[in-house]
Amino acid sequence: MRRTVIAGGPITTMDAERGELSDGAVLVEGDRIAAIARSVDEFAGVDAEFVDAAGGVRRRARCGR
């Protein structure tokens, strides 16, 4: 399964406790979001392609089943 970490930009979560992460990171496994972190450092050691999203355009999306 392909794993990708996208980091370097703000993330707005649907979780009231997390809220918005100013410089968060997302781990995508296949076509699903597997984890969200406050920092890319939380994914250190993960076998994945890392994508730097700094300066990119973000778009809201709903995740879940």
Q: Is the pLDDT of residue 63 over 70?
A: no
Nearest alpha carbon to residue 29 among 5, 58, 54, 62: 5
Nearest alpha carbon to residue 6 among 32, 31, 29, 26: 26
pLDDT band at 10 (very low <50, low <70, confident <90, very high): confident
Domain 3-52 belongs to what architecture?
Answer: Roll (2.30)
Report field, pTM of the whole predicted structure over 0.85: no
Number of other residues whose CB lies within 10 A of the CB of residue 38: 13
pLDDT band at 7 (very low <50, low <70, confident <90, very high): very high
| Residue spans per domain, the chain | 3-52
Q: What is the pLDDT of residues 13-42, one digit of tens each?
A: 777 887 888 888 999 999 999 999 989 999
